[in-house]
Amino acid sequence: MQIIHIEQTNENRKIIGYFLVVFDKTFRSLPSSMIELDLQRIYQPKYLWKKTTLFTGIWNEEPNIIFRKDMMYYNLKDKYHLTFFGDTTVCEQFKPEIRFEFFPQNECKSNDDGIQITYQHLELQVLLWGLEQEEIGKTKKKMSIRPEYFKEWIEYVDPEKIIKTEKIIAKFENSTDHKMFLKELKKCIIAINKLDEKETFISTIEAENIIEKLSEIALSKGLDRTSIEQQIEENRTW
């Protein structure tokens, strides 16, 4: 999460608004530096608040963000330990692009894809509850798929992204024209590039896994290791 703006208003009474976004990228373990983070792509819920960006406004009469006793899910304050990770500038343009409008009463607006791009009024504990519901949805989805290539991804990569990646690689593995193997490898890499450009999920570990799997398949098709390495490194963007 990142607080992207703080607003203060004196209309009727003094209130402070904290606006934060929840990012899409997840990790198996907490990164050691800010460089590893993707502070541009905002998480879009898939199971609960569909067709929204997780862009939240929290208004309070006190200069802080707290768990409110008068709201549901107050018990989550004892379940999660929130830690300040680091300090960095706020991105000028997020993905998807959001409306930088910070008013106590905001008008809900959507982009051309029908995704809500103005903030939602969600207290901290409600936001955490929503994220829990997303994890429940992901878990159900995980139970329904059986990865062929990247079984270890199931613990930390969105199931839909695993399915899409494996579908691309399977198409390469199932190609049968020997003369076209090298060309098919390039097409496979470019397709993964486009998927990652849209979804942003390939970090160092995933990249290593993909390279290893593509090399294994290409070698089994009779391609030489030098050509394989050259094709992968010249074409991949992850």
pLDDT value at residue 175 = 92
pLDDT tens string 16-68: 999 999 999 887 778 888 888 889 999 999 899 999 999 999 998 888 899 99
**pLDDT given at position 83:** 86
Q: What phi and psi, each to the nearest 5 degrees, are found at residue 179?
A: -70, -20
Residue 193 has pLDDT above 90, yes or no: yes
- Give residue 223's pLDDT: 94
Q: Contact at 8 Å (CB) between 42 and 54?
A: yes
- Give the mean pLDDT of 128-150: 91
Q: DSSP per residue over 184-225, as a string?
A: HHHHHHHHHHHHHHHH----HHHHHHHHHHHHHHHHHTT--H
H helix or E strand, kind and range, residue 33: none
Residues 133 and 40 in one domain: yes
- For residue 158, the model assigns a pLDDT of 86
Residue 121 shares a structural domain with residue 210: no
Range of the domain at 52: 2-143
Indicate whether 17 and 93 sit together in one domain.
yes
For residue 167, pLDDT beyond 90: yes
* Angle between helical axes of 181-199 and 159-173 (0-180°, round to 10): 170
Sequence-distant (6+) residues with CB within 8 A of 39 are: 2, 23, 88, 91
Q: Same domain for 125 and 175?
A: no
**Could you tell me the two tokens for 16?**
């402070």
Residue 143 has pLDDT above 80, yes or no: yes
Q: What is the pTM of this model?
A: 0.68
**Which residue, 143, 165, 181, sits at the end of a domain?**
143
pLDDT greater than 80 at residue 229: yes
Looking at the fold, whether 185 and 132 belong to one and the same domain comes out as: no
Q: Which of 143, 162, 177 corresponds to the end of one domain?
A: 143
**Can you give the pLDDT at residue 180?**
92
Residues 200 and 123 in one domain: no
pLDDT (tens digit per residue) in 67-86: 999 999 999 999 988 888 88
Side chain identity at residue 138, one-letter code: K
Q: What residues contact 113, with CB distance under 8 A and at least 6 apart?
A: 96
Do 138 and 26 fall within a single domain? yes
* Residue 12 in this model has a pLDDT that exceeds 80: no
**155 and 225 share a domain?**
yes
In the listed set 109, 143, 177, which residue is the last one of a domain according to the structure?
Answer: 143
Give the residue with greater pLDDT, 233 vs 106: 233
Same domain, yes or no, for 92 and 47?
Answer: yes
Mean pLDDT of the chain: 92
Give the chain's domain count: 2
How does DSSP assign 55-96, residue by residue? EEEEEESSSS----TTSTTGGGGGT---------PPPSS-BS
Beta bridge pairs of residue 8: 16
Band of residue 95 on the pLDDT scale cut at 50, 70, 90: very high
216 and 135 share one domain: no
Does residue 200 surpass a pLDDT of 90?
A: no
The pLDDT tens digits for 99-115 are: 998 988 888 999 998 99
Residue 3's pLDDT is what? 96
| Cα separations in angstroms, 125 against 19, 64, 74, 176, 203 | 15, 14, 6, 53, 30
Give 35 or 224, the one with higher predicted confidence.
224
Give yes or no: residues 159 and 134 share one domain.
no
User: Is the domain of 50 the same as that of 11?
Assistant: yes
pLDDT beyond 90 at 220: yes
